[in-house]
Structure 1
């Protein structure tokens, strides 16, 4: 009997774990941050995450049935839905979540051939699509209220920061001072633990870091991307971040901006997506620096408070170019070129 060999789309690389194992491991490492979001924002956030996962898996199953490709069990659609749920505010309308999930799977993932063929992160693409389509629904933030069901509306630290800059006074020396002046007292510990308004799965930097470290230790996530992304962003904030407060160079509040918004979620779990990130170490470092720089530009000079999603999608565009620019030399290639040049 002839053995059938299935040729899959690029990039092809060896990993000791199967695709299914990788997807479910990443989902498991995200679980603590998700449970924390449910605890802090109430039952409504559980509905949002469930809707995202169900819509993603159902879309994957339907398209897999049409294309005769059984991929729903590999966990990739579940992970996409989970990440979409993580990137949603607790009070977002459920239909917006469903649209984001269907767009991510049907348009971004399957129109390019399915898993391994998409050129941008499906979950981020889904989030950005619904953000600009239903901006009001995507900015319905709720205050943390551990263990309760009812939601209480309130702004995110980055959102308050963006609006408060318009009325900046000379006495304000940094983001925490500004938030305090705006009536939104936030401490570094609140940011670190996740006792702040925000998207469901992005608020707890602590749990995201712990989950990311597990993936780095297991070599599922490449440390080069994480370090270059966070390091470059921190550098830009430290050097130039103080100008908006009139404090000059090297005075930016690195810790505030590192722990705020979706930076940890993006750097650890989304910029590191195997399909949409570079293959070589040099390419990963350049890619990470690009993500850090773009996040800094968008967060400090853009019209929206956050810049992680757009920054990563922007750098996804350059991944094929980075793979080509930093591809390793083939064995014997230099000698062959020298011989041909004689």
Structure 2
């Protein structure tokens, strides 16, 4: 029996249930990536997720804390990190990334619920600055449009322009098809838009994430790239391409919705997601990197405490009486 003052609210959920549900929603995209990129992708995914679990257990043992690897949070962190890596990286890369994500970004700040930054993206950002060549080397694949390419669509866009992207895939229709179905180069888990969206919709249906975040972030990227991303002047960009290219979908549904590092209120989440979308566009169009999702989310993680301080819900009973 629980003795406490009202109101009482009970929910049939737990951290373990939430984390393993998110892991399961990523499974279709994981299976597709193994089919698409081959066994090298499987090795990278296993190295990232399993090493994250080991580092979590060792760290908690050293700190004399309860080992909680069964809650699925470490596995999810390592899995997301591995999904944001090129498929053919050396084996040490996902292992080092998991160490940085779990030990440095998560447990140095107190563990689950206390980390300021998204651990998986911290791991990826650290790998990006440490081994930039390895992190931007892509395995050549042949799409169903019979086009062989060794660069991602965003890489081609940055170096050669949008027309070169369309020519690489044969037509704009084939480009959209490749992006939607995942028939392109890219990081392991970011290629198949349709499977990532389906997984995200399951999370929204189960109310594990708020639809405001992915819709706002993806919508912001679409609007701004349509307005400023074209080579033929104002409002001549291709928003559909930018919304499906790169890691925007996996970032918007599975990274920017992290309940620990994002604002609490819906209005705060809207500001967070719009800011992340705007920074993504800024990096893609003006910055030196072809992709900006990772850094945009990390930069907005810095602003989360400020947003939570100034965007607060009205206290019960303190609202304006009309």
Aligned equivalents of 1:283, 1:324: Cα separation in 2: 10
Per-residue CA deviations over 1:168-192 (Å, capped at 9, x if unaligned) read xxxxxxx2x22245x4545110110
Contact 1:42 1:145 (8 Å CA) reproduced: no
Contact 1:143 1:153 (8 Å CA) reproduced: yes
Q: Which residue of 2 aligns with 1:178?
A: 164
Match status 1:288 vs 2:276? no
Q: Which residue of 2 aligns with 1:216?
A: 204
Per-residue CA deviations over 1:265-295 (Å, capped at 9, x if unaligned) read 0000000001011100110100110011000
Contact 2:229 2:238 (8 Å CA) reproduced: yes
Match status 1:259 vs 2:226? no
Per-residue CA deviations over 1:208-229 (Å, capped at 9, x if unaligned) read 0000000001000111111111
Match status 1:319 vs 2:319? no
Q: Which ranges in structure 2 are unaligned for 5 or more consecutive residues?
A: 3-8
Aligned equivalents of 1:14, 1:262: Cα separation in 2: 36
Look up the SS of the partner of 2:150 in the other structure: coil
Q: Which residue of 2 aligns with 1:50?
A: 46
Per-residue CA deviations over 1:58-117 (Å, capped at 9, x if unaligned) read 000101112222211110000001101100101111111111000000000000000000
Normalising by structure 2, what TM-score?
A: 0.90
Look up the SS of the partner of 2:85 in the other structure: coil
Trace 1:1-342 onto structure 2 (pairs within 5 A). 16-67=12-63, 68-144=65-141, 154-165=150-161, 175=162, 177-181=163-167, 183=168, 185=170, 187-242=175-230, 245=231, 247-331=232-316
Counting matched residue pairs gives 305
Aligned equivalents of 1:23, 1:144: Cα separation in 2: 33
Normalising by structure 1, what TM-score?
A: 0.85
Larger radius of gyration: 1
Aligned equivalents of 1:223, 1:332: Cα separation in 2: 28
Contact 1:91 1:141 (8 Å CA) reproduced: yes
Q: Which ranges in structure 1 are unaligned for 5 or more consecutive residues?
A: 4-12, 147-151, 166-174, 336-342
Aligned equivalents of 2:142, 2:48: Cα separation in 1: 22
Q: CA deviation at 1:296?
A: 0.5
Aligned equivalents of 1:29, 1:203: Cα separation in 2: 15
Contact 1:109 1:118 (8 Å CA) reproduced: yes
Per-residue CA deviations over 1:34-68 (Å, capped at 9, x if unaligned) read 11111011101100001001110000010111222
Look up the SS of the partner of 1:305 in the other structure: coil
